[in-house]
Structure 1
Amino acid sequence: MRLVVFDVDGTLVDSQADIVASMAAAFAAVNLDAPSRSDILSIVGLSLPVAMEALAPDADTPMMVEAYKDSYARLRVSKGASSSPLYPGARAALDRLQARDDILLGVATGKSKRGLDGLIEAHGLEGMFITRQVADFHPSKPHPSMLLTAMEDAGVTAQAAVMIGDTSFDADMAQAARMPFIGVDWGYHPTDRLQGAHSVLSDFSELDDALGAVWAD
């Protein structure tokens, strides 16, 4: 069996509008001006406390985290699936991989369990992923804990797995877990930050061939 682990924000779904809006709410909660969109997107993938400390090291991190979570949850409830739309081709790629009898799917995300569960429900992805690794139970990316647990859940080694993501945090996490990494160019970090990527996708239609190339090596 092979395990394909996906990042979520910036890889499977485009959640930047709600991330930016919720970060603005978090900064407003501590009476600070929000950072620029580019600065906010640069920390997507980190666990929220780590992200807040990076953006506002002297602010009240717990208050900011709660304000962010509350805002994000309200947006998800009010907007449904449109809150974080799947990127073009993402659902078809997931369906193709799930239909194969030699591949298991997982996710490793800086989202909370509540956030991931809500997104999966909104997009009708229940049963798609055999392992769901979230920020609640692990150190922040790029620590390899999420991927090590995902491999344990799936019963595979790093050589039989691959991480797919859009940020340097994903790339570094995969390297720390000794897992191959495939990048995507539609996410939140420029592709020159995806160090060590076996390949970088420009479209989900390229994924199947990229996986074959990883496991042929």
Structure 2
Amino acid sequence: MSAPLRLVLFDVDGTLVDSQGSIVAAMTASFDALSLPVPEREAILSIVGLSLPNAMARLVPECTGADQRRLVEGYKQAYHAQRLEQGAASSPLYPGARDTIEALHAVPEILLGVATGKSQRGLDALVEAHGLERYFVTRQVADHHPSKPHPSMIETARGETGVSASNTVMVGDTRFDMDMARAAGVPSVGVTWGYHDRSALDGATCLIETFDQLQGTLDTIWT
């Protein structure tokens, strides 16, 4: 009997790539453009993973909806400009990320996907910059779903691939990823090198410290 299909879904910012420099710089430019106080770095990183409207609402709940929308647009423009200027260097892959993606992709029954708060344009540009186009069979982005931790991204990825919940794993660095996995009824792997403190990952099925631990951790979850 053939092995069942498995699905590994990756968050992007803080999990596959270290984009904190670009995120903080774009957020700073956006707030500066409206002459608003720039939030602390820790506060900015705490909302990474949410869709931009939700992120701004959390960062500056005292601002009007119109100003929050201006901040979102300013952030998008600043981030896009950085990406055009710096290319892949604006969001470098974490050590071991590419090797792990390649190793998992080489296993016939394992499918790979992405579930991210990034826009479609942002994700496509990042995937192209790093030459990762052929690895991800499903790409779920903020444009088409409610913000994490709503389970829509995972449920849609499962629908596209036909993989059961028990054979799907969400890999991410934030509480939003762990809560999304729980809402979707799938196991989760929390990575400790990202933007949320280790204590925020208490809902994870397992934690890993480095990418080379992922394949063994998946084997443990699935057996």
For the aligned pair, the TM-score class normalised by the smaller chain equals over 0.9
Mapped pair 1:69 → 2:73: no
For residue 153 of structure 1, the aligned residue among 150, 160, 171 is: 160
For residue 13 of structure 2, the aligned residue among 5, 9, 23 is: 9
TM-score (normalizing by structure 2): 0.95
Mapped pair 1:47 → 2:44: no
What's the secondary structure of 1:131's corresponding residue? strand
What's the secondary structure of 1:187's corresponding residue? coil
The sequence identity of aligned pairs, in percent, is 58
What's the secondary structure of 1:130's corresponding residue? strand
For 1:127, the equivalent position in structure 2 comes to 134
Structure 2 segments unaligned to the other structure (5+ residues): none
Q: Distance in 1 between matches of 2:204 and 2:214?
A: 13
Q: Distance in 2 between matches of 1:72 and 1:90?
A: 22
Alignment of 1:10-25 (within 5 A): 10-25=14-29
Letter in 2 for 1:13: V
State the shift of 1:196 in Å: 2.3
What's the secondary structure of 2:136's corresponding residue? coil
Q: Distance in 2 between matches of 1:72 and 1:126?
A: 21
Q: Distance in 1 between matches of 2:195 and 2:105?
A: 26
Q: Which runs of 4+ in 1 moved over 3 A?
A: none
For 2:60, the equivalent position in structure 1 comes to 56
TM-score (normalizing by structure 1): 0.98
State the shift of 1:25 in Å: 1.4
Structure 1 segments unaligned to the other structure (5+ residues): none
RMSD: 0.7
Contact 2:175 2:203 in 1 (8 A): no
For 1:200, the equivalent position in structure 2 comes to 207
For 1:215, the equivalent position in structure 2 comes to 222
Q: Distance in 2 between matches of 1:159 and 1:67?
A: 40
Alignment of 1:111-190 (within 5 A): 111-190=118-197
Matched positions, count:
216
Q: Distance in 1 between matches of 2:99 and 2:176?
A: 26
Contact 1:29 1:63 in 2 (8 A): no
